Amino acid sequence: MRSHLLMPAGLFAMLLTAALSTGSTLLFILALMVALTVIICLASVIWASATVRITAEMEEQTVYRGEHTTLMLGVSHGGWIPVAPVILEIPSMSSGESRKIRLKDIPGRVQSLRMPIDAAHVGIYTSGIKTCMIEDLLGLFQRVIHPDETVYSLTVLPRVFDVDPLVMAPGDPGSELMARANEDLNAPSDIRAYQPGDAMKKIHWKLSARKQELIVRKFEEPLMQEVLILMDCSRPPFRGDPQAEADIRDALLETAASIFSAQMRTDHEIRMPLTGSRPAEADRSIGTTIAMKYLAGVDFSVTDRFERVLQMESSRMSKVGCVAVVTARLNYAMVDIMTRIHRTGPNLRLYLVTYTPDDANVLPLISRLQHSGIEVAYVTPNA
């Protein structure tokens, strides 16, 4: 029995005992009124709980970090017996804590609430109304409801900033070489039937005359060197400050997003493998928007160290002209692997996300990279 029921239960027992002892009709009526009040309170909670309707809708489900959106809530319940204002428990999107909101009591009408939400950090957030508590006016009874259809999702995309153009390794065929290859009529790789729009100079006239149909030459086009973007998807170095760690994650994601976006304006192929609970690989074919959503889905849950990812990708450098490494940590093993990658041919640029670019423990590693011809760029979180 709840402590709130002790007082009406005690009052009912006292009045009923006094009424039976004295035979007083008034005391008996008062005891019945106390019991009826408790029954009405219980009925009001049951009635409101059975008829409650809860809705939740996000005004914009996809925003960029730093923007704002609005969560629109709607609550209604039937019954003519009044109850206390409904209390909604809503989990915070930035932490594991919840906050409770008490609405006005308007039986039979939809109560609307607009909650502004700041998209503080990049990610995909799924939440909803955790609980809905209904209680009577006297606070004797309450019922907690766990709504099922009030889940909302918010995708916070990374913002992009200007980055210096990546320099491809010597021997990059480039678009000019591809164009020249298409014009080289002395090196056809195959033939096929003529199609409307084919250039007249590609027609194989002798073969066309023999086959009595137009035949055109096919040419192999040299493959464009690709840009490989490798982002460290393991948990960033712990600094004892959740806000600082979240800022480092944002900086990692937005640096990778900026490199990808800049390369989409070039002719080179792009490959950006992402690991974690939702592994994906972004390339030119999917476009910038979907690539940004892939980045937003990175949860930094990778348990393998980034050195292993570098080692695995180092064996796939045949078509790579430049590698962009984005990480918030640096050690001797990573330096050795990046140096070996650079020696195999592709240029390499390291984007180091750090609050302390002058760290005495990191400076010798930076010096080794630069001595090997590797570019190093610093990214300050939340700058």
pLDDT per residue over 139-155, tens digit each? Answer: 888 899 888 777 788 89
255 and 230 in contact (C-beta within 8 Å)? no
Lowest-confidence pick of 119-123, 192-196, 224-228 = 192-196
User: Which tokens belong to 230?
Assistant: 């490798």
The runs of H, that is alpha helices, within the chain are: 6-22, 25-51, 174-183, 205-211, 242-263, 287-296, 306-313, 332-343, 363-371
Domain range spanning residue 251? 226-379
- 335 and 206: one domain? no
Which single residue is written with the structure tokens 């064996």?
315
- Mean pLDDT across the stretch 77-89? 83
CATH of the domain at 109: 2.60.40.150
**End position of a domain, from candidates 199, 218, 237:** 218
- 366 and 243: one domain? yes
Residue 73 has pLDDT above 60, yes or no: yes
- 207 and 273: one domain? no
76 and 111 in contact (C-beta within 8 Å)? yes
**Any domain includes 282:** yes
88 and 101 in contact (C-beta within 8 Å)? yes
Residue 326 has pLDDT above 90, yes or no: yes
- pLDDT score at 283: 93
- 201 and 147: one domain? no
- 65 and 43: one domain? no
**Any domain includes 169:** no
pLDDT tier at 290, thresholds 50, 70, 90: very high
145 and 134 in contact (C-beta within 8 Å)? yes
- 41 and 70: one domain? no
- 23 and 95: one domain? no
- pLDDT score at 173: 47
CB neighbour list of residue 337: distance below 8 Å, 6 or more residues apart: 307, 310, 311, 314
- pLDDT score at 117: 85
**Any domain includes 253:** yes
Q: How many domains are there within the chain? A: 4
- pLDDT score at 230: 96
- 317 and 204: one domain? no
**Any domain includes 166:** no
- 152 and 272: one domain? no
**Any domain includes 165:** no
- 337 and 259: one domain? yes
- 152 and 208: one domain? no
The Cα 336–Cα 383 span in angstroms is 30
**Any domain includes 176:** no
- 22 and 122: one domain? no
**Any domain includes 287:** yes
Residue 284 has pLDDT above 70, yes or no: yes
pLDDT for 13-52, tens place per residue?
Answer: 888 888 888 888 898 899 899 899 989 999 988 988 888 8
